[in-house]
Each structure stands twice: as C-alpha cells, then as structure tokens.
Copies of this chain bind each other. A is one copy, B any other.
Amino acid sequence: MSNSAAVPAEPRRGRPGYDRRGALEVAVRVFNEHGYDATSMGMLATRLGLSKSAIYHHFDSKEHLLEAALDEALGGLEQVLDEPGARRGTQTARLTYVVRRAVEVLVDRLPYVTLLLRLRGNTAVERAALERRRRFDDAVSALVRAAQVDGAVRADIDPAIATRLVFGMVNSLVEWYRPTGPEGARQQAGGLGRSPIVGAGQLADDVLALVLDGLRRR
C-alpha cells in the first residue's frame, strides 16, 4: 500500500508542514500532469503552497525527487518476482500471477509507475532506473519462454516479443486508468477522455482474459 490510511490528496488541510513523503507525493502528481522536464521547481512550489527554496529543504535537487519516486515504482515491481506465486507452480500459473500482480502494483502506485514508464534516459538517474526496469522485463521474458517450453503457451511468437506486447498492454494502463472508489477519476490531466469505470481486480481480469484468450469468441 503506497498511501497510508486516509491521507488527503493535494494541499493538506490546515497548514502545509510537509514531510519528505508528503512533498514527494504531490510532486509526482505534478510531474505526471506536465511531464518531468516540463515541470519547474516553481510549479511544484505553487502546487505545494511553498516557496521554491522550501522544497530544497526536503530534496537536494529536482532529480532527487525523481530518484525517490522511481525507487518507489521499481521496488514494487521487483518485489512481485520474489513472491511465492511468482516462484512456485506451473509456468503458466507463475506467468499469470506476475501479470496480475504487475497490474495491481501499477494501480496501487499509479503515479510512481507512470513516472517510471515515461523516462527517456536523459540522465544517470534515469538510465539506472531503465536498467532496473529492463532486468524486470528479462525475468518475465524468461517466464514466457518457460511456459512455451511447457507447451501451455503458443510457441509461434518470440517470447521477448510476447513479453513486450503483454507489458505494453499492461503499462498502457497508466495512460488512462484512474482508480475508482471514494475519490477515483478525480482529475484527468492530459487525458484522452473519460476513463471507463472499473476496479483494479476487474481490470486485471480483463487484461488476463485478453492476454490469455484474446478478443475472438470461440
């Protein structure tokens, strides 16, 4: 869970008085609205209700904000691979588990994962994050290959390509999905129109249905 219990969303009620994590949460939201590069420290300050220099009390630099956010996203994904469901069972079960959990992590840490998925590798921090992400992809790719050898997954698609296509679909969720619930679908900056309303569980079901069996009716 990336949010503790019932933390409010934007500028805290009452006085600001941010801690590191609270400031990060708001910053990441703004990064995702405008893009990391297009977001200035001035914009962050405005959204936080602080002066620019106050931000530097919490983070050494703009890039440190990015680094902290990316770690949040990558940590979540990497953990999935260590969970029992990803390490035991048939290859197909393991693969299914990882895809489902990846959707859940993505939804749970949506802003952090969104930021991760939009990196261009402009700096050392960004490149290190992309490298961690690549290692995750490689692990999933090995799962797909194993499932093919098992005979449970079609072997006429290259496993590396299948992995990229499947995670292309999963990752694209950050472009439109907004959690439902008390405050779901609140703001939709830069969006492509209203999100269909669906919970995280149903979403994972849909993704897996499509990935495993496709659109065509039989």
Contact = CB atoms under 8 A, between A and B. Distances in A.
A206 B165 contact: yes
Contacts of A155: 217
Contacts of A130: 190, 192
A192 B137 contact: yes
A210 interface: yes
A181 interface: no
A217 B150 CA distance: 11
Interface stretch (A7-15, A44-52, A116-124): A116-124
Given A153-B217, A154-B213, A161-B206, 20 more contacts: A92-B216, A118-B118, A120-B189, A120-B190, A122-B190, A133-B192, A134-B193, A137-B193, A144-B215, A147-B215, A154-B216, A158-B198, A161-B203, A162-B206, A164-B176, A165-B207, A211-B214, A212-B215, A212-B216, A214-B214
Interface of A: 33-35, 37-38, 92, 118-122, 130, 133-134, 137-138, 144, 147, 151-158, 160-162, 164-173, 175-176, 189-193, 196, 198, 203, 206-207, 209-217
